[in-house]
Amino acid sequence: MTQAVAVAVERLVADGVLSPAQRDAVLHATEEARRDARPTFGRALAEAVAYLGAAIVFAGVVVLIDYGWDDLAQTGQVLLLVVAAGCSIAGGVVVVGGCRGIFRRVPIAPAGRVRLAAILFALGTCIGCAAVAIALDAADRESPAAVALTGLVLALLTYLMVPSVIGLALIGVAAGVTAAVLADYSHWTGALLLVIAAGWFAVAYRRVLVANWAGYLIGGVTGVVGAQALGEGESAWQPSVTAVVGLVALALAFARWEPVLVIGGAAALAIALGEVLFRTTDGGVGVPAIVITVGLIVLAVAIGVIVREQRGRERPVAAGSRCDLDVG
């Protein structure tokens, strides 16, 4: 437990918000959470063994499918995959403590268990998509959109059950694939990806994610990919919209300071500028110019991030040096 937490809790007691008994309970819970989050060799080894066990089980299922898959009717194949997906998701729920540990704003389970549950949820999502694909094939109704939407729904559901960075990444991939499938990989794919990127920026800006920096990162990557998918061939829309994505990220950084926004915005601008230089120089001195430009931009951004972080650390110290007396 840091001194800042103890001081903040003590101020709440002085203001009458917390009672001394509540203070002790908060400090005790904070200390327990700190101990749970502290990495130890035994805990890391147990987590690694759990990952290995999950991989062995998955390999066993693959071998079983390889030997007897063709002997099963399609109904049996679907049933087997549904059971496997359900067991994987149920296993993730058990790992985080059962019903008590799911559907919370912040997971109450230790970080190692949350990561393992997220891996199990991702595995269950993939298996669930495979079950839907085989079921539709059995009914002679191939529908990539239905498979993609199934993956997106399962990714959203499992993230709501146990929020994690891995869950956010799974949602990002599922949303991107769904947009591409719904747009039939046409020029509308880029537009849909840009809308999804705006949604990521919005929810991260409102700070409703378990890791807002991950939301900004996924939104930025989705936005750049969407910008590059606009138009046909070498369209002027690609560098222009990529630059807009970078400017939006930098603008958000002024309101919600996140290093990933600054670095990502600078990277998007560097990509846009590099495209323009490459297209206008016919590959002559453009390639060295692109390298130099990207290097200078990244260097400037890195220096800016370091300076901003250093000032952020110094500001609380300067504020704490003042002594304000409240004489009532």
Note the Cα 265 to chain centre separation in Å.
Answer: 18
Integer Cα distance of 133 and 128 in angstroms: 9
Residues 6+ apart with CB under 8 A from 201: 215, 216, 219, 223, 248, 249, 252
Integer Cα distance of 282 and 293 in angstroms: 17
Q: For residue 116, which amino acid is it?
A: L
Task: Sort 281 into a burial class: Cβ within 10 Å, 0-12 / 13-18 / 19+.
Answer: middle
DSSP string, 6-26: HHHHHHHHHTTSS-HHHHHHH
DSSP string, 302-324: HHHHHHHHHHHHHHHHHHHT---
Integer Cα distance of 239 and 246 in angstroms: 10
Read off the tokens for 18: 């917390």
Q: What is the pLDDT along the chain (328 residues), one digit of tens a residue?
A: 567 777 788 888 888 888 888 888 888 877 777 666 666 666 677 777 877 877 887 787 777 767 767 777 888 888 988 998 999 999 999 999 898 889 888 888 888 889 999 999 999 999 999 899 888 876 666 678 889 999 999 999 999 999 999 999 999 999 999 988 887 766 788 899 999 999 999 999 999 899 999 999 999 999 999 999 887 767 788 999 999 999 999 999 888 888 899 889 988 988 888 788 777 766 555 566 666 766 777 677 767 766 666 666 555 444 444 444 343 3
User: Which residue stretches of the chain are H helix?
Assistant: 3-14, 20-37, 41-68, 74-95, 111-138, 144-161, 165-182, 188-205, 212-228, 237-255, 259-280, 286-320
Residue 47: CB atoms within 10 A of its CB come to 17
Query: Which of 311, 265, 139 lies closest to 273, judged by CA?
Result: 265
Integer Cα distance of 219 and 213 in angstroms: 10
Q: How many residues comprise the chain?
A: 328
User: 114 and 107 in contact (C-beta within 8 Å)?
Assistant: yes
Per-residue pLDDT, 328: 36
Integer Cα distance of 187 and 209 in angstroms: 30
Instruction: Using DSSP, state whether 208 is helix, strand or coil.
Output: coil
Task: Sort 154 into a burial class: Cβ within 10 Å, 0-12 / 13-18 / 19+.
Answer: buried
Per-residue pLDDT, 118: 93
Per-residue pLDDT, 143: 79
Per-residue pLDDT, 185: 62
**Every domain of the chain and the residues it spans:** 1-38, 45-182
Q: Which residue bears the tokens 């939301």?
A: 215
Integer Cα distance of 151 and 145 in angstroms: 10
